[in-house]
Structures are given as structure tokens and as C-alpha cells.
Structure 1
Amino acid sequence: MSNVLRYPTVLFDLDGTLSDPFEGISRSIGYALEQLGRPPVPEAILRTWIGPSLRASFASVLDGDHTLVERAMALYRERYGPIGCLENHIYPGIPALLADLAAADCAVCLATSKPEIFARRILEHFGVAMHFAVIGGASLDTSREHKADVIAYALSQLPPDRRRPAVMIGDREHDVLGAREHDLPTIGVSYGYGSRTELAAAGALTVVATVQELRDLLL
């Protein structure tokens, strides 16, 4: 561990970056579509739904019908809230990385498109919430949903002198693009749901394949 942190502030995505949420998300999506009498989504497509706005993903299979999309969101949360959010697995090495960053006086932040109420519960479930200076997520309505909006919110919760220099850590292109709107670099992680090609094409500063490689860059 170096004495001086390269990035005194680190913003983490959640799904596909800190934990693997596929089981809970896919089952909750399946529940919502079944209740609506719609066919299931193939697993290969479901995997592309991890990370981006779920409303947009539902719209892609519900003909863009706003009423149906909102009904699907409500049904999804009906299962995801009490059950699905904990059908989740934290990646090995992440708890130690978060603890060591916090111990080194890094401002560890969460910036996820997942509703904040669920994100906080997941971090508490894994016993890592105490390492975060800020837990920033989407609102349950559409007022704070896109990654750039969540990043703005997370940064606003920090003292002005802790907002830069900072880096975003994420597994999908929307993490990179959202961070770019705030002139933040992104370290992409290819162990999640986005490929090295996707992340590099979006403009990631670099892409790592393992948590250990990420650790080597941050500590």
C-alpha cells in the first residue's frame, strides 16, 4: 500500500463492480414479466440489463408503453425489495479493498443507478456500508436516475475539497460516459457485465480484469 493515494476520492458503481446481482435481478425481472403475461427475456439479453436504467430495459420489451413500464417497475420492486436485492454475491477481495481504502483516508463513495434504498441495504447486508463516506443511488421516481445525475449527487455530498481528484470505477459504458460529464476518469472492470472492448470504446482510462488489479491501481 502506498503512502499517498493516487485518487483520494473513489466512486464505485455497485452491480457488476462490487457485487454480482444477476440472480436477484433476473428473477425479479422474470417475476414482473410473468405477472404482466409477457414472455421471459433470454439470459444473454438479461445480462445486458445489469447496470443501465431498468426502465429503459423494460421499455425495450414492452413497446415503450409508459404505463406498462411503470407497472413492470412496481412488480419488479415488489419482489426485488424483500427478496431479490439479497440474492447477490459480493466479489472476493472487495470487502478488504473497501476497508483498506477507508483506512487510508480515501473518500469511498457509491454512485449507482440502483435505487439508493436498495443499494444501502445491500451494502449493509455485506457488512461494508461503514466504509463509505457517501452512498449515492437513484431515487425511486425518475428525478435522479441516470448515472451522470447520480454522480453529481454523490459528489455534492462531499466537502468541496474532497470532490477532486476523483475516479469512477465501473463495469459498463454508462459508468464511463456518466463520469465524463463531470470530467472524471473511469477505471473499467471487465470482471462484471461489460467487456473490455465496451469499456475501452467508451473511453475508460484503463480496464482491469480482476479485483487485485484494481487494488494495485488504487492503493
Structure 2
Amino acid sequence: MMKIEKNTILFDLDGTLTDSAEGVIRSAQHMQEKMGIEKWSDKDLKFIVGPPLIKTFTEDFNMNQEDAHRALEFFRERYATVGLFENKVYEGIPEMLQELKKKGKRLAVATSKKEETAVRILKHFKIDQYFEVIGGDNRELGRDTKAKVIAHVMEVMNVSKSDVIMVGDRKFDVEGAHSVGIPCIAIEYGYGDRDEFEACGADYIGATPQAVVNMF
């Protein structure tokens, strides 16, 4: 198999490095209770893990912008204190990161999660040391889309897009990467599936963390 000749690898967080479904779903249900709307089942809320929340609240919950931002505050009210630790690192992730570092790769995180929350999670699970940059949503600075987060991380790392690749588990990772001109590896152990990846034009598809290592 041809090896990917990229030296900088950006990773999504939810569904790629950690399985955060429980905390995200519980926090979404907390939001629904606070908003006075019907609380959905765990199964019906599974889709919420990964995509930018404002986009989810406006498009999937049919909220206007004002309500979507209120919903985001209620979600974060629980997630920032309890939900972020209802989470676990996928099996094989530390080993994947170690092996990629041994291969001389520069690693970073580019997530739609609030940046300070992403830092707390990665520190909690003791995998933050593998990453040069941990970049996330920062609406105060206008960094409110996946593409903007990816562009920010690349700028901080001072890398050319010709030397960068994204790794993620949903179409939003693929689309965000493509919009800034870099390819994306879609992984199958997270929240997306092969049909989604093929439909959005993922450049590579990997079944396991070790499969990602083997691509380089």
C-alpha cells in the first residue's frame, strides 16, 4: 500500500480519540429539560455526537439563533461540570499516538468542541502531551466552524496545507478538511460509517487506530 506522505496530522476529538457519547447525550437531555421541550431517547440523540452544536440545534431541533444559543448554554452547564468526564479513550489510541510520534509526525487536535473543554479532556486522560496544538471552537474569536478550527491550528503550527491531513469520524471532518484544501482519513470505529464517508468523499478510510498508523 502506498504510504501517505504527510508530516502533520490533525485529529478530531469526539468519536476519533474518545468515545464521548454518554456525556454528550446526557447533556443534550439536560438542555431539553431546561428548554421545556420533550426529552429524546439515547438512541434518538446519538446523531448529536460530533457535529457543531449550533448547527445541530438550528437544523435538527429547528431552533432560531436565539434559542440555539440558549440551548448551547444549557448544554454546557452540565457538560462542563459532569458530562466531559462521561467519556473514555478508545482502545489503541495511546499506542497509535506513540507510534505516529516515533515516525516523526507532528500531531494536533482540531475539534468543534469548546477549546478549553477539549484541553481539560485530553489532560484528564493524559494524552495531551502528544499534541503540539489543541484547537477548538472559540466563538469570541469567530472560530465557529470546523474549517475555521482547522485553519487556525495550521496557522499556529506554521505548516503548509500540502503537508497536512485530517483524521475524523464524521462527514463534518471530511468537509471541513476539504474546504481548507487538505485530505481526510475517515475512521470507522467512531460515530460515522462507510456509506457516509463515501458519500462525502473521504480520501481514505481506516477501521482501527492501528490502520491509521499503517497508512504512514
Contact 2:18–2:89 (Cα < 8 Å) also in 1: yes
Q: Distance in 1 between matches of 2:159 and 2:165?
A: 15
Contact 1:13–1:110 (Cα < 8 Å) also in 2: yes
Contact 1:62–1:68 (Cα < 8 Å) also in 2: no
Runs of 5+ unmatched residues, structure 1: none
Aligned partner of 1:34 in structure 2 is 33
Residue 150 of structure 1, CA deviation: 0.7
- TM normalised by structure 2 equals 0.92
Residue 77 of structure 1, CA deviation: 0.7
State the identity as a percent.
Answer: 37
Q: Give CA deviations for 1:115-165 in whole Å, capped at 9, x if unaligned.
A: 11111111101101111011111114481121111100010011346x541
Q: Distance in 2 between matches of 1:117 and 1:72?
A: 19
Residue 182 of structure 1, CA deviation: 2.0
Residue 61 of structure 1, CA deviation: 5.4
Structure 1 residues 196 and 23, CA gap change in structure 2 (3 angstroms): same
- Matched length: 214
Mean Cα displacement is larger for which, 62-71 or 119-128? 62-71
Q: Distance in 1 between matches of 2:124 and 2:148?
A: 25
Q: Distance in 1 between matches of 2:29 and 2:184?
A: 32
Aligned partner of 1:153 in structure 2 is 152
Runs of 5+ unmatched residues, structure 2: none
Which amino acid in the other structure matches residue 191 of structure 1?
Y
Query: CA RMSD of the aligned region, Å?
Result: 1.8
Aligned partner of 2:189 in structure 1 is 191
Which amino acid in the other structure matches residue 82 of structure 2?
I
Aligned partner of 1:75 in structure 2 is 74
Q: Distance in 1 between matches of 2:37 and 2:84?
A: 23
Q: Distance in 1 between matches of 2:17 and 2:159?
A: 26
Aligned partner of 1:105 in structure 2 is 104
Residue 198 of structure 1, CA deviation: 0.4
Aligned partner of 2:205 in structure 1 is 207
- TM normalised by structure 1 equals 0.91
Contact 1:102–1:132 (Cα < 8 Å) also in 2: no
Aligned partner of 2:171 in structure 1 is 173
Write out the 4+ residue segments of structure 1 that deviate beyond 4 Å after TM superposition: none
Q: Secondary structure at the match of 1:157?
A: helix
